[in-house]
Structure 1
Amino acid sequence: MKILYFAWVRQKVGLAEEDVAPPDSVGDVAGLVAWLAGRSPGHAAAFADPRQVRAAVNQDFATPDQKVAAGDEVAFFPPVTGG
């Protein structure tokens, strides 16, 4: 699974992207966020408040209950605001 990080999420994690192999128990975005938060202090800081992070799975916006699987591309980014 390829994970992409953008904006302040990337700054906190310290990586732009990484390839990961989450355990089989990780089946959705929320589970992935929880698992990623345990990978390092930077990941923990980035995902400290999951409500402040948005996700996309295979380039489609995703909710926390969106299913994820091996081979997916998952991107995390801050909420986007416009004027």
Structure 2
Amino acid sequence: MPTIRLKFFASLREALGPTGQIELPAGSTVGQARDALIALGAPHSEVLARGRAVRAALNQTLCDEPAVLSDGDELAFFPPVTGG
């Protein structure tokens, strides 16, 4: 099973810590990784819930949930950034 390195930023980092990792079946997507983290229960299920706006970056490039993960990838989650 591929191992994906996780990073969390802003309010997600406050709730989940700065880093982590998860093992997923080969061919898993960013969306499936998010679902796997939600399935861990609180606090993951609260801050990554489907109703919440959360952005993702795969290997430091913004991505959508259908993006496919590979062993050793870095997947970051963060809230949307607003400007002023």
Report the TM-score range of the alignment, normalised by the length of the smaller protein. 0.7 to 0.9
- Runs of 4 or more consecutive aligned structure 1 residues displaced over 2 Å after TM superposition: none
Counterpart residue type for residue 20 of structure 2 = E
- For the residue of structure 1 that corresponds to 2:23, the secondary structure is coil
Structure 2: gaps spanning 5 or more residues: none
Q: Percent identity?
A: 32
RMSD: 1.7
Aligned residue pair count: 81
* TM-superposition CA deviations, 1:9-47 (whole Å, max 9, x none): 11222x11012212x166111101000111231110111
Counterpart residue type for residue 5 of structure 1 = F
Structure 1: gaps spanning 5 or more residues: none
Aligned residue number for residue 32 of structure 2: 31
TM-score (norm 1): 0.86
Structure with a larger share of its residues in helix:
1
TM-score (norm 2): 0.85
